[in-house]
Amino acid sequence: MRMIFLILAVAIAGQMRAETVIETAPRPVRFTTRDSIELAATYYHPISSNPVPAVILLHSYGKNSEEWGAVASLFQMNQVAALALDLRGHGASTHRLTANGTETVDYHNFTPQDYTAMLLDINQAYDWLASQPGIDKHRIAVVGSSIGANLALRYAAFNDEVVGLVLISPGLFYQNLRTDDVITGYGKRPLRIVVSRDDTFAFASALQLIEIRQRAGQAVESNETIVCSGSLHGATMLTGVKDLSGVVFGWLNQLLFSLPASPAEPAPKGIKSNYNR
């Protein structure tokens, strides 16, 4: 297995789309999951030729959508819509609607089942995003940080409409959310795993995930792992490692714009993904 040891990323970052785009201000949005959790998210939608590709951004444990601010703006400036989600119990996603009123939802009190239920959050976010005017529902990727990476992989393994994944500091398991049992379900779709060499658990997890993928004949590229020096973990790598955000964005940008664009169409009345809700 060949690793990419990050040095300079000028050539890859240069793949970013150069067109001038008029941006809209990020706007807060809300939607409700099948199990009645009110989710909050921030939507970054550029004004550009429709339809546009999009990414869903999943934060780390204990963080929220603000973790993605600078990265989401980078997507927006380059004609890729972004939806940064507050997972249940985090940020402003702390309420469940019940027949007796509103209950508080706090990740500090979560059981393993509560973490598994976060897959419903991603599913609702995917359905909401895919139904928005001007979004190409056939060009949606997911980027996850730490526990968000584990969730991204588990979700994409059940929704084959996800066209690509970036997993930043994934683990073989975080909060009972495993990855080794679903990596082969992702198939041969494009993947990048980003880790720090001295982030011991995430680094070892990345090696094992790629090994499983290679044994299954699913690693269609030899450079699916980006290894950085140091010990930074999760989305902090994108601002703490020089040029890394350009590498990650350059790869995703190339992927999303290499796929054939879907013709513009009216917003559908309902979108159903393959995740068993």
Q: What is the structure's pLDDT at 47?
A: 75
- In order, the DSSP letters of 136-200 are EEEEEEEEEETHHHHHHHHHHHH-TTEEEEEEES--SEETTEESTTTGGGGTTS-EEEEEETT-H
Q: What is the structure's pLDDT at 159?
A: 97
Output the CA torsion sign for 195, 198, 201, 205: positive
**58 inside domain:** yes
Query: Is residue 225 a contact partner of residue 206, using CB atoms and an 8 Å limit?
Result: yes
Separation between Cα atoms, residue 75 and residue 84, nearest integer Å: 11
Where residue 23 sits, what CATH number does that domain have?
3.40.50.1820
- Which residues have a Cβ under 8 Å from the Cβ of 207 and sit 6 or more positions away? 1, 225
Q: What is the structure's pLDDT at 130?
A: 96
What is the distance of C-alpha 38 from the center of its chain? 20
Beta bridge mates, 47:
22
* Residue segments in the chain with a per-residue pLDDT below the cut of 50: 1-23, 267-277
What range defines the domain where residue 12 resides? 4-185+194-257
Helices 244-258 and 69-77: crossing angle, nearest 10°?
40
Q: How many CB atoms lie within 10 A of CB 239?
A: 14
Q: Which helix (H) or strand (E) holds 248?
A: helix 244-258
* Per-residue pLDDT tens over the stretch 133-165: 999 999 999 999 999 999 999 999 999 999 999
Domain count, the chain: 1
Q: What is the structure's pLDDT at 6?
A: 36
Alpha-helical regions (H) of 1-110: 10-13, 69-77
Query: Is residue 185 a contact partner of residue 153, using CB atoms and an 8 Å limit?
Result: no
The torsion of the CA quartet 116, 212, 223, 85, rounded to 10 degrees, works out to 0
Q: What is the structure's pLDDT at 70?
A: 86
**274 inside domain:** no
- Which residues have a Cβ under 8 Å from the Cβ of 131 and sit 6 or more positions away? 137, 267, 268, 270, 271
Q: What is the structure's pLDDT at 211?
A: 96
Q: What is the DSSP letter of 94?
A: -
**265 inside domain:** no
CA distances from 239 to 235, 243, 244, 245 (A): 8, 8, 8, 7
User: Considering the entire predicted model, what is its pTM?
Assistant: 0.87
**101 inside domain:** yes
Q: What is the structure's pLDDT at 225?
A: 96
**262 inside domain:** no
**173 inside domain:** yes
**266 inside domain:** no
Closest C-alpha to 76, from 51, 101, 53: 53
**269 inside domain:** no
CA 154-156-162 angle, 5° bins: 165
